[in-house]
Amino acid sequence: MFHKLFSMLDKTIGFEQAKAHCDVPCGIYDPIIPQIAALTVVRMIDLMTELEGKGGSHDMAYHNSMSRYVLVKEEHAEKVKQEVRVIWGDYLKPMHIEKYPKAHELVHKIMSLGSKSRQTTDREAAVQMVEALNEFAQIFWETKNVPTKRAKAPYAPGLELVYPNL
């Protein structure tokens, strides 16, 4: 009861924070980085499909563009894995895992989908990775008591992302 009352007052007045931080208290973690990286992977697969679909000769220009798409896909799939590992290892604490027991399984799923997105051009796997990251973002923001919303990213491939509703 008191906590509810104080929460309401906090929203109105805004109490000062007393930080009980660990490590260097920079505290800057945001799942939007891997979410955007995962969208980039989907976008690269779309561009690769589009280029291949154009037909024509596989000349230098084709190889140049295709190589660049593959490179960006590789980099961003790896970025997904790296960023999620940091949040998982540095931010998520036992108390969070206790509340979200599927978090470990979810992180493992993201790692697997990240690897598959590097190894293949499976668009469905990349889309699944975006969705798994949405799930991850949902948990992340819930641990911070920040409400979320789902909205289409305002750029291709225009998939839905979970955003903090600030």
Partner 1 sequence: MLQILRVSGISLSPAFNEGDFVLAVKIPFVISGLRPGDVIVFRHPEFGTLIKRVDHLSPGGEEVFVVGTQENSVDSRQFGLINIKDVTGKVIWHIRKPGG
Rule CB under 8 A: say whether 3 interacts with partner 1: yes
What is the SS3 assignment for 164? strand
Classify the phi-psi angles of 78: left when phi > 0, otherwise alpha if psi is within -120 to 50, otherwise beta. Answer: alpha
Rule CB under 8 A: say whether 60 interacts with partner 1: no
Please, what is the end-to-end C-alpha distance for the chain in angstroms?
25
Residue 31 token pair:
């799942």
Rounded to a whole number of angstroms, the minimum distance from the CB of residue 102 to partner 1 is: 18
Rule CB under 8 A: say whether 9 interacts with partner 1: yes
Binds partner 1 by CB under 8 A, chosen from 27, 124, 151, 156? 27
Rule CB under 8 A: say whether 93 interacts with partner 1: yes
Rule CB under 8 A: say whether 63 interacts with partner 1: no
- 139 neighbors 106 (Cβ within 8 angstroms): yes
Task: Read off the amino acid at residue 123.
Answer: R
DSSP assignment letter at 27: -
- Count of chain residues binding partner 1 (CB under 8 A): 23
- 118 neighbors 78 (Cβ within 8 angstroms): yes
Binding mask 137-156 vs partner 1 (x if CB under 8 A, - otherwise)? ------xxx-----------
User: Residues in the site for partner 1, rule: CB under 8 A?
Assistant: 2-3, 6-7, 9-10, 15-25, 27, 93, 95, 143-145
